Amino acid sequence: MDYKKYSQILKHVTKPGRYTGGEIGQVIKNKDDIRCRFAFCFPDTYEIGMSNLGVRILYGVLNEMPDVWCERVYAPWTDMGEYMRKYSISLTAHESVDNVADFDIVGFTLQYELCYTNVLYILDLAGIPLLASERSDDCPIIIGGGPCTYNAEPVADFFDIFSIGEGEEALPELCRLYIKMKSDGTYTRSKFLYEAATTLEGFYVPSLYKVEYKADGTIKSYIPADEKVPAKVRKRIVDDFDTSYYPTKPIMPFIETVHDRIMLEVYRGCIRGCRFCQAGMVYRPVRNRTVATLCRQAKELYENTGCDEISLTSLSISDYTDINELTNTLVEWSDANIVSLSLPSLRADSFTKELMDKVSSVRTSGLTFAPEAGTQRLRDAINKNVCEEDLMRAVRVAFEAGKNSVKLYFMIGLPTETDEDIIGIAKLAKAVIDEYYKTPGRNKKRPPQVTISVACFVPKPFTPFQWEAQNTREELARKQRLLGEHITDNRIRYTFHDSRISHIEAVLARGDRRLSAAILEAYRRGSCFDAWDEHFDYDRWLSVFADTGIDVAFYANREFGEDEVLPWDIIDCGVKKEFLICERRRAYESKPSPNCREGCLGCGANSLGGKGRCCP
Amino acid sequence: MNEISLNEKKVKTPSPLRIRFLKTGSLQFISHLDLMKTMTRLLIRSGLKMWYSEGFNPHPKLVFALPLSVGVESVCELLDVRVYGDIDYENLIRRLNESSTPELKFIEAYVPKRKFKEIAYARYKITVYSQNLTEGCADAVTKLFRSPIIVSKRKKSGDHDTDIVPFVRSLSAKFDAGAHELCVNTVLSASPDNYLNPEYIVEAIRRATGAPSDEDFTPGGDSYRILRTEMLDSKGQMFK
């Protein structure tokens, strides 16, 4: 935002540093050299968007192209949004302060379902028609990417095109096509979209498919516009992850952001295959970066940012094959430079004293584990593969080292769950307290504290639990109360997620195209920043669904048929449906499955290729 | 980069270093806390061998002379840090500026001779732009400061009605009718116990002239700018 023009407004909004831009490391280009201008929107606040690794990578990849200029856009907080409406100020991109509506391509990363209304908020503030069908040739191309595009159907009406899977190679290809068609004069909006869908891989254009429904409301079929339009859109992965582009000169935000640290992306995918987890399925196959590459990137990042904390990013860091070599090398180097190492996503079964010492070598950080379920039976059913002994050993290591507090993540409403499993959560938390008193070298200065944070299960596309019904809100509330009644120890702190939010999330996660009308109506009635408790309005969502003819239970609380055409069947994420069904059967038998390194289950992701993947 | 190890650093004694910098333009919207974080990182990137605090959370200790409020620009900010070894001042300033932005610009570095607690006043240039300003507005402002100006001043113990005039060492006003700009030059108390936020002067100007509006923020309409130009000691001499 142009601070000179809007300085009076900036003096009256919260965190004006969100809007000024001008950060160290932002990319400024000469417009004369540019043939494709790309606005990369993160549909939430600046502080959250600036922390996103995917945006950092793609911002860098696109700006590596000399004739493409990628800029950033964030959702202005509601106070700024009101001023913008009051004074008719159009939304602008951070770097150039040019109107978003004047860009060639406007991309959105869809990280969570509750950001959908913010997509409309951004389009609206930019003055771009909300519906793809209402956009003329002069409007920018609106593209979506990120995890939610594995089922993008609920927002299909708002997007011209989706990029499925990893975008590092796909987005430059799309820009090349755009530049080519613009320069040879063949560009029209519809021709471009058709070319992208039929000549490039990994692009889904919803308008090229007609959806037919059965009388019972389920999908009958997806009909492609012609035989050249792919029947299924296959997700993209980068061919060689180790050598693929990684940003080592990131933008340094002036104001505090959610994750303000150096992030090293250690590997992609996850060997575990927890049956509720979408990330564990859609990011397959597992591909590592080498220790040498990671250490070089860490040094470059430190020299370029001066940031004193390095976070090792992955879905489960202790599953990295060379974790000891990596942490040893980093600790050796980072201690001298007074850089601290943080390891999020630690698994209890691979947490060791050696690993913890490295993490706390410079600064102390809290310890969090995710057993996810309260009993071994249910942990086997969800394939979490962590046993109580693992957890007890892990917390003992922590207590011996003088820690007093441990945080545990759980989920309720999981398939096959009984009341015994719920009560098991309380028992497990108590067992951790008992373990503290059994640990000889414990820190006696303060009493122990165990925090249990309990989320509600949301069935997600491309997981073995994708067909499962979500518990009703009443049932989730009953389980939350039941658990509360069994927690009698005041050294256990109990927090749980709002089941109303999880309910709407379930509708949006498994929805089809008919939901677009409801999301548009919710936005028109004021829904925005739904991921923020203070803005989330459950009753408004329910009344919108009722008024737009959407049966909430049909999407959230119904068990989908295995022979049913699912809204996301149009996407091929590598993992086959037969594999998911097989895993679902094993869940019902409470049988865990081996992880990718113990034995390949033939999920199908190896067909995507990828150098150095862990599977055959 | 920092070849010197933590242990080596403990052996040597750190010496103080003062850095003068300016914080202008969009950087006025960056809070003091956020500035400290950015400054720490810029100093690390410059390769400066800094003294780190000991304990669980080692960090270089930065001391700022007079933290700026959000919305105030400055061309005279001072910062002290403790460093090891001989410093090539010009080279340091060059490296800092290479990794910074023009709105956070480093001017000079030197060994401090005076302590920050000697700072008693700060000089500000306040510019108000408004189409509604008329001839005589400068006189109205200076006249207003001849008698007490009671504002609600925020203190730790809550809001208190306070007369700001005793905190004003000097004030002059000049109106440029062609540019629709009223320029107020003022020296305000800036000692730790008697710091006056220059926003109160804007509030007083508004009482005297009706501008700048605090309701209508139409782009291109009323606006104001506060620029800190100098820090002064108790005798009114420039502090460096």
Contacts B58 to A, Cβ<8 Å: 338, 362-363
Please tell me which of the candidates B6, B30, B217 has its beta carbon nearest to residue A87.
Answer: B217
**pLDDT grade, residue A338 (50/70/90)?**
confident
Do A273 and A322 share a domain, yes or no? yes
What tens digit of pLDDT does each residue of B34-49 get? 999 999 999 999 989 9
Domain count, chain A: 2
Report the chain B residue with the minimal C-alpha distance to residue A304. Answer: B45
Residue A223: give its domain's CATH number: 3.40.50.280
| Rounded Cα gap, residues A518 and A157, in angstroms | 11
- What percent of chain A has pLDDT above 70? 98
Q: Where in chain B is the domain with CATH 3.30.70.3190?
A: 118-233
| Rounded Cα gap, residues A45 and A15, in angstroms | 11
Whether A493 shows a pLDDT value over 70: the answer reads: yes
CA distance A340 to chain B (A): 9
- The interface residues of chain B toward chain A in range 25-44, judged by CB-CB distance below 8 A, are 25-31, 33-35, 37-38, 40-44
What local confidence, expressed as pLDDT, does residue A462 receive? 98
Cβ-defined contact of A9 to B30 (cutoff 8 Å): no
Cβ-defined contact of B219 to A6 (cutoff 8 Å): yes
Q: Which own/partner pairs from A484-491 qualify as long-range (CB within 8 Å, at least 24 positions apart)?
A: A486/A422, A486/A423, A486/A426, A486/A427, A487/A426, A487/A429, A487/A452, A489/A429, A489/A430, A489/A433, A491/A433, A491/A447, A491/A448, A491/A449, A491/A450
What local confidence, expressed as pLDDT, does residue B154 receive? 76
Cα within 13 Å of Cα(A291), Cβ side? 12
CA distance A360 to chain B (A): 9
Largest CA distance in chain A: 77
Do A230 and A96 share a domain, yes or no? yes
Q: Where in chain B is the domain with CATH 3.30.70.580?
A: 6-113
What tens digit of pLDDT does each residue of A164-203 get? 999 999 999 999 999 999 999 999 999 999 999 999 999 9
Alpha-carbon torsion, ordered A500, A522, A53, A173, to 10 deg: 140
Q: Does some domain include residue A435?
A: no
Whether A465 shows a pLDDT value over 50: the answer reads: yes
Contacts B25 to A, Cβ<8 Å: 3, 22
Do A272 and A217 share a domain, yes or no? no
Token pair belonging to A56: 């950092």
CA distance A255 to chain B (A): 5
Token pair belonging to A446: 């303060």
Whether B3 shows a pLDDT value over 50: the answer reads: no
Report DSSP state, residue B60: B
CA distance A332 to chain B (A): 11
Residue range A266-288: average pLDDT? 95
Give chain B's mean pLDDT: 91
Tell me which residues of chain A have a C-beta less than 8 Å from any C-beta of chain B: 3, 5-12, 16-17, 19-24, 83, 87, 89, 252, 254-256, 260, 302-308, 335-338, 362-364
What local confidence, expressed as pLDDT, does residue B11 receive? 55
- Structural Rg of chain A based on CA atoms: 24
Give chain A's mean pLDDT: 94
Q: Does some domain include residue A30?
A: yes
Whether A382 shows a pLDDT value over 70: the answer reads: yes
A215: left (phi over 0), alpha (psi -120 to 50) or beta: alpha
Contacts B59 to A, Cβ<8 Å: 308, 338
What local confidence, expressed as pLDDT, does residue A530 receive? 95
Contacts B62 to A, Cβ<8 Å: none
What local confidence, expressed as pLDDT, does residue A362 receive? 46
What local confidence, expressed as pLDDT, does residue A366 receive? 61
Cβ-defined contact of B212 to A254 (cutoff 8 Å): no
Cβ-defined contact of B217 to A303 (cutoff 8 Å): no
Q: Does B52 touch chain A (CB under 8 A)?
A: yes
A106 pairs with which residues across the strands? A39, A142
Q: Report the sign of the C-alpha dihedral through residues B50, B56, B57, B63, in that order.
A: negative
What local confidence, expressed as pLDDT, does residue B1 receive? 40
- B6-113 folds as Alpha-Beta Plaits (3.30.70)
- Residue A227 lies in domain: 3-234
CA distance A14 to chain B (A): 10
Do A207 and A285 share a domain, yes or no? no
| Rounded Cα gap, residues A174 and A110, in angstroms | 18
- What percent of chain A has pLDDT above 90? 83
Cβ-defined contact of A24 to B33 (cutoff 8 Å): no
Q: Does some domain include residue A481?
A: no
CB pairs under 8 A between A and B: 95
Cβ-defined contact of A256 to B99 (cutoff 8 Å): no
Q: Does B222 touch chain A (CB under 8 A)?
A: yes
Q: B154 vs B31, B145, B199, CA distance in Å?
A: 18, 20, 12
Q: Does some domain include residue A171?
A: yes
Q: Which own/partner pairs from A243-249 qualify as long-range (CB within 8 Å, at least 24 positions apart)?
A: A243/A293, A244/A168, A245/A57, A245/A60, A245/A61, A245/A64, A245/A168, A246/A57, A246/A60, A246/A297, A247/A56, A247/A57, A247/A59, A247/A60, A248/A297, A248/A300, A248/A301, A248/A304, A249/A25, A249/A60, A249/A300, A249/A304
CA distance A46 to chain B (A): 14
Distance of CA A338 to the CA centre of its chain: 31
What tens digit of pLDDT does each residue of A394-448 get? 999 888 888 888 899 999 999 999 999 999 999 999 999 999 999 998 888 888 9
Whether A229 shows a pLDDT value over 70: the answer reads: yes
Which of B3, B8, B29 best probes binding to A when mutated, by most A CB atoms within 10 angstroms? B29
What tens digit of pLDDT does each residue of A530-572 get? 999 999 999 999 999 999 999 999 999 999 999 999 999 999 9
Whether A460 shows a pLDDT value over 90: the answer reads: yes
Alpha-helical (H) ranges within chain B are 6-11, 32-45, 89-98, 137-144, 199-209
Report the chain A residue with the minimal C-alpha distance to residue B98. Answer: A24
Report the chain A residue with the minimal C-alpha distance to residue B214. Answer: A8
Do A225 and A320 share a domain, yes or no? no
Give every CB contact of residue A224 below 8 A, 6+ residues apart in sequence.
A208, A209, A230, A231
Whether B56 shows a pLDDT value over 90: the answer reads: no
Q: Does some domain include residue A518?
A: no
Residue range B81-89: average pLDDT? 92
Number of Cβ within 10 Å of residue A217's Cβ equals 12
pTM confidence score:
0.94
The burial class, CB within 10 Å (0-12 / 13-18 / 19+), for B181 is: middle
Give every CB contact of residue A32 below 8 A, 6+ residues apart in sequence.
none
Token pair belonging to A84: 């913008």
Do A225 and A251 share a domain, yes or no? no
Contacts B198 to A, Cβ<8 Å: none
Residue range B161-188: average pLDDT? 95
Which of A121-125, A328-332, A592-596 has the largest mean confidence?
Answer: A121-125
Please tell me which of the candidates A24, A254, A335 has its beta carbon nearest to residue B34.
Answer: A254
Q: Does B70 touch chain A (CB under 8 A)?
A: yes
Contacts A259 to B, Cβ<8 Å: none
Largest CA distance in chain B: 67
| Rounded Cα gap, residues A35 and A70, in angstroms | 11
Do A107 and A245 share a domain, yes or no? no
Please tell me which of the candidates A5, A335, A362 has its beta carbon nearest to residue B220.
Answer: A5
First to last CA, chain B: 30
State the pairing for strand pair A68-74/A36-42: parallel
Residue range A295-323: average pLDDT? 90
Whether A518 shows a pLDDT value over 70: the answer reads: yes
Cβ-defined contact of A256 to B34 (cutoff 8 Å): yes
Cβ-defined contact of A306 to B45 (cutoff 8 Å): yes
The burial class, CB within 10 Å (0-12 / 13-18 / 19+), for A613 is: buried
CA distance A335 to chain B (A): 8
Domain boundary among A207, A234, A261: A234
What local confidence, expressed as pLDDT, does residue A339 receive? 82
ipTM of the complex: 0.88
Do A124 and A242 share a domain, yes or no? no
What local confidence, expressed as pLDDT, does residue A442 receive? 87
Report the chain A residue with the minimal C-alpha distance to residue B212. Answer: A8
Do A297 and A180 share a domain, yes or no? no
Cβ-defined contact of A337 to B57 (cutoff 8 Å): no
First to last CA, chain A: 51
Ranges A263-267, A321-325, A487-491, B153-157: which has the least confidence: B153-157
Whether B58 shows a pLDDT value over 70: the answer reads: yes
Angle at A307 between CA A305 and CA A313, to 5 degrees: 100
What tens digit of pLDDT does each residue of B105-158 get? 999 999 999 999 999 999 999 999 999 999 999 999 999 999 999 998 877 778
Give every CB contact of residue A251 below 8 A, 6+ residues apart in sequence.
A23, A24, A25, A26, A50, A56, A59, A72
Domain boundary among A180, A207, A234: A234
A144 pairs with which residues across the strands? A108, A162
Residue A273: give its domain's CATH number: 3.30.750.210
Please tell me which of the candidates B6, B43, B100 has its beta carbon nearest to residue A24.
Answer: B100
Angle at A357 between CA A353 and CA A358, to 5 degrees: 125
Do A160 and A269 share a domain, yes or no? no
Cβ-defined contact of A20 to B26 (cutoff 8 Å): yes
Matching residue, tokens 């700009």: B181
Q: Report the sign of the C-alpha dihedral through residues A326, A330, A331, A333, in that order.
A: positive
Cβ-defined contact of B29 to A308 (cutoff 8 Å): no
Please tell me which of the candidates B2, B34, B217 has its beta carbon nearest to residue A83.
Answer: B217
Which of A27, A28, A83, A255 best probes binding to B when mutated, by most B CB atoms within 10 angstroms? A255
Whether A209 shows a pLDDT value over 60: the answer reads: yes
Cβ-defined contact of B45 to A17 (cutoff 8 Å): no
CA distance A204 to chain B (A): 40
Whether A364 shows a pLDDT value over 70: the answer reads: no
Q: Does B55 touch chain A (CB under 8 A)?
A: no
Residue range A293-318: average pLDDT? 91
Nearest to B84 by CA among B147, B2, B29, B193: B2
Do A21 and A163 share a domain, yes or no? yes
Q: Does some domain include residue A285?
A: yes
Q: Does some domain include residue A24?
A: yes
Do A159 and A51 share a domain, yes or no? yes
Q: Does some domain include residue A557?
A: no
| Rounded Cα gap, residues A203 and A207, in angstroms | 12
- B118-233 folds as Alpha-Beta Plaits (3.30.70)
